[in-house]
């Protein structure tokens, strides 16, 4: 093809693709316009997932009759004059691209009356061309109707998601804006059904309650953190709500982030929120949260992408740690029973003074050789996964206190031992070298009919795990062998537990290791602790028990020093 300049219309359609990715982007841009126009009430009506119709009515300032056509021109805006204005932008829009983009790929009708004018104006635009314009009576404010979205861009139409997906996106978007602007009344109607309404009371709690329902809202805690400016770092306020650990979801999409009233997408900050739950939530579970970040507008670049959904922070680290700390403190404050020691990856300062004292009562009886952990199997030495840790002692018959190169490490003896046994067991299981112990007693183990059925159909699995079981009557088994690691414990109780659910081998192995491991409350002698630590140092995954519980918490030298400064502060009445 010969080179030719594109026609204006084609240029506009191509440009529109960047702003208007999907129906929800239209809703977003129009809500932002209404908010920028100081609306106190915004009504959103959607049909056919936004493809057929999107209508947004607001009671904002309205557009002057002589400006309404200009509003639809490319790069026409009342919000910005020079590029310098960008650094202090307070409005949600500023690029002057939304109306022209939307109009380029749909059929638009707008009725608007400026608050200071008597008469309103009505325009109709088809595929970017004004086909009708006339004065009309109307209440102050703006009603914009977008129909047949993407009717003239078949390529985009083809890539549209299912209607239900678009509906979901639109609902999520409207509720997000309602949360960010609790003083504005929002109503969302999809296919003539009212799906959401906020009352404009100004209280975020009122909106959250509407968004997630009362039962869920009861499981939310308020976030309210403030990091003052210091050493060139900006002040950051973090407010909102976040869920207690028991209320969680399978994906991150329920973490809503806002910066200065703008709904944003930011994987790092989403991570900061979920990271605040470290060790409180299982892997792959995520909290529900609405987090409002306020920061000097000079600190944020909002002009990163045409959809304005991404922003850039001058000091992302400062924002990251403010968010993480505020969320962590909120979840810790609701339940004093959660230990407040920072994990190795935590950036926030630990709240050592709020630790649950019962678990840390000093109760050292190191010389009492009650439980010995045998040395690990004499195989080739595995690579080290933890630094060398020196055992200092035991606390509350639960935790082993150790010292390493980067400070103090507290180890949950039970979780750590489960981890060690699990890796040893797995290795033997995979290589078919599991040590087993023959059993000579013939006392059968009675199970319920249901459990017996499950065990019966999983006999080969049990055998691979070291349990040789022989059916004995309808619902009993004689135990011929057990894995060596449970030979010295009540393996009948273990078998009964395993019989509850025999489907997942890994779960059965975890069961075995949990039964075989040293318990909380067991006093360990120095040698047993040292053996345990030495084996943990060479586990493949030393930081978690096989069921995901943390094995270790770390308190760095800096954190310890910091705690002493704080303690000094409170002892003398001065801030730490
Ligand atoms: P931007 O919002 O980036 O300025 P838009 O294309 O979204 O660009 O809108 C162009 C202009 O039209 C805005 O600057 C504003 O002056 C006016 N406008 C659009 N929607 C409304 C509305 N609902 N109420 C009042 N004015 C509006
Ligand atoms: Mg706009």
Q: Using one digit for the tens of pLDDT, what is the confidence trace for 221-268?
A: 999 999 999 888 999 999 999 998 889 999 998 999 999 988 898 989
Q: What is the mean pLDDT of residues 2-7?
A: 87
With 50 as the cut, is the pLDDT of residue 214 above it? yes
Q: What is the pLDDT of residue 345?
A: 34
Are 77 and 94 in contact by the 8 Å Cβ rule? The answer is: yes
Which has more pLDDT, 100 or 21? 100
Q: Across-strand partners of 108?
A: 125, 146
CA of 115 relative to ligand 1 center, distance in Å: 15
Q: What is the mean pLDDT of residues 201-223?
A: 89
Q: What is the pLDDT of residue 322?
A: 95
Q: What is the pLDDT of residue 574?
A: 57
With 60 as the cut, is the pLDDT of residue 372 above it? no
CA 157 – CA 406 distance, rounded (Å): 57
Q: Establish whether residue 239 lines the binding site of ligand 1, counting it when its CB lies within 6 angstroms of any ligand atom.
A: no
CA of 208 relative to ligand 1 center, distance in Å: 28
Cβ within 8 Å of residue 543, ≥6 positions away: 344, 550, 551, 552
Q: Which atom of ligand 1 is nearest to the CA of 141?
A: 24
Mean pLDDT of the chain: 86
Q: Establish whether residue 141 lines the binding site of ligand 1, counting it when its CB lies within 6 angstroms of any ligand atom.
A: no
Are 447 and 499 in contact by the 8 Å Cβ rule? The answer is: yes
Q: What is the mean pLDDT of residues 47-62?
A: 96
Q: Establish whether residue 339 lines the binding site of ligand 1, counting it when its CB lies within 6 angstroms of any ligand atom.
A: no
With 80 as the cut, is the pLDDT of residue 359 above it? no
Cβ within 8 Å of residue 210, ≥6 positions away: 178, 196, 197, 198
Q: Establish whether residue 99 lines the binding site of ligand 1, counting it when its CB lies within 6 angstroms of any ligand atom.
A: yes
Query: Which among 28, 40, 71 is the best mutation to test ligand 1's pocket, defined by most ligand atoms within 8 Å of the CB?
Result: 71
CA of 24 relative to ligand 2 center, distance in Å: 14
Angle between helices 23-36 and 163-180 (to 10 degrees): 20
Q: Establish whether residue 42 lines the binding site of ligand 1, counting it when its CB lies within 6 angstroms of any ligand atom.
A: no
Q: What is the mean pLDDT of residues 93-106?
A: 89
Are 348 and 328 in contact by the 8 Å Cβ rule? The answer is: yes
Cβ within 8 Å of residue 369, ≥6 positions away: 525, 527, 528
CA 558 – CA 407 distance, rounded (Å): 8
Q: Establish whether residue 37 lines the binding site of ligand 1, counting it when its CB lies within 6 angstroms of any ligand atom.
A: yes
Are 330 and 222 in contact by the 8 Å Cβ rule? The answer is: yes
């Amino acid at each position: 093809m010969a080179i030719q300049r594109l026609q204006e219309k084609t240029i506009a359609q191509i440009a529109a693709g960047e702003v208007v990715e999907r129906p929800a982007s239209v809703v977003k841009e129009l809500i932002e316009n209404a908010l920028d126009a100081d609306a106190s009430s915004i009504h959103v009506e959607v049909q056919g997932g936004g493809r057929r119709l999107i209508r947004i009515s607001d009671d904002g300032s309205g557009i002057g009759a002589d400006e309404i056509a200009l509003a639809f021109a490319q790069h026409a805006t009342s919000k910005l004059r020079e590029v310098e204005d960008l650094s202090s932008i307070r409005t949600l829009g500023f690029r002057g691209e939304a109306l022209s983009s939307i109009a380029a790929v749909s059929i638009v009708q707008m009725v608007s009356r400026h608050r200071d004018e008597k008469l309103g104006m009505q325009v109709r635009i088809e595929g970017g061309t004004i086909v009708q314009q006339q004065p009309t009576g109307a209440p102050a404010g703006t009603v914009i109707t977008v129909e047949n979205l993407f009717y003239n861009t078949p390529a985009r139409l083809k890539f549209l998601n299912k209607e239900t997906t678009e509906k979901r996106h639109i609902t999520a978007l409207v509720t997000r804006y309602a949360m960010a602007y609790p003083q504005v009344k929002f109503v969302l109607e999809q296919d003539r059904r009212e799906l959401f309404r906020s009352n404009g009371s100004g209280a975020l709690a009122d909106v959250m309650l509407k968004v997630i329902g009362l039962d869920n809202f009861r499981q939310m805690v308020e976030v309210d953190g403030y990091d003052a400016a210091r050493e060139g770092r900006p002040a950051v306020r973090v407010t909102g709500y976040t869920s207690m650990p028991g209320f969680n979801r399978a994906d991150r999409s329920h973490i809503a982030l806002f910066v200065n009233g703008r709904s944003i997408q930011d994987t790092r900050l989403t991570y900061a929120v979920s990271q605040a739950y470290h060790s409180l939530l299982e892997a792959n579970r995520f909290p529900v949260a609405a987090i409002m970040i306020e920061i000097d507008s000079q600190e944020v670049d909002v002009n990163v992408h045409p959809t304005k959904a991404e922003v850039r922070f001058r000091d992302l680290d400062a924002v990251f740690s403010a968010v993480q700390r505020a969320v962590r403190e909120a979840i810790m404050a609701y339940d004093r029973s959660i230990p407040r020691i920072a994990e190795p990856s935590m950036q926030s300062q630990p709240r050592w003074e709020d630790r649950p004292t019962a678990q840390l009562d000093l109760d050292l009886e190191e010389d009492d050789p009650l439980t010995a952990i045998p040395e690990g199997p004499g195989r080739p030495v595995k690579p080290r996964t933890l630094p060398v840790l020196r055992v200092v002692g035991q606390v509350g018959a639960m935790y082993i206190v150790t010292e390493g190169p980067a400070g103090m490490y507290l180890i949950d003896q039970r979780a750590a031992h489960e981890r060690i046994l699990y890796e040893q067991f797995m290795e033997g299981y995979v290589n078919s070298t599991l040590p087993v112990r023959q059993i000579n007693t013939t006392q059968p183990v009675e199970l319920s009919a249901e459990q017996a059925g499950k065990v019966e159909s999983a006999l080969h699995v049990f055998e691979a795990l070291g349990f040789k079981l022989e059916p004995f009557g309808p619902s009993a088994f004689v135990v011929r062998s057990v894995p060596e690691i449970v030979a010295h414990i009540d393996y009948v109780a273990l078998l009964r537990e395993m019989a509850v659910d025999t489907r997942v081998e890994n779960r059965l192995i975890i069961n075995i290791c949990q039964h075989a491991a040293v318990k909380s409350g067991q006093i360990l002698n120095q040698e047993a602790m040292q053996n345990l630590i030495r084996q943990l140092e060479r586990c493949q995954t030393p930081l978690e028990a096989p069921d995901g519980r943390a094995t270790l918490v770390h308190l760095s030298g800096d954190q310890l020093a910091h705690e002493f400064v704080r303690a000094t502060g409170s002892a003398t009445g001065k801030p730490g």
